[in-house]
Amino acid sequence: MAASTATCGNSGAGHKEVADFILAKKCSVDLKSLVIVVQISDVVGAAGYVLYDRGNVVASYFSDTDDNAVEIVRAVLKENGAPFSTMMFRDAIRMRGQGWEIMS
């Protein structure tokens, strides 16, 4: 299983994180494995995922009206044996005093 996030920007006017589906598919083919790509925006209730198995899309989902965006993605990770779950940025900030460090 692999994870990939690419950051892109435009002339310093800000940036956004996007999933690199081409890289995810290539990793799935090259590693002959399952790759799960997830994106979540709980602010607007959007969530999506794509599962690649050896380069083939075996499942995908997207909703921009979901009240349980984070839970949907966490369930997909768990169902597919991911040894980790998602963590929202605000949760990481809350955990700074528990050994987490914010790096820039």
Tokens of 81: 């044996």
Helix extents (H) in the chain:
21-30, 69-79, 89-94
pTM of the complete model beyond 0.75: no
Instruction: Tell whether the model's pLDDT for residue 72 goes beyond 90.
Output: no
Instruction: Tell whether the model's pLDDT for residue 48 goes beyond 70.
Output: yes
Q: Name beta bridge partners: 82.
A: none
d(CA 8, CA 24) in angstroms, rounded, equals: 16
**Sheet containing 56-63: order of strands:** 34-41, 46-53, 56-63
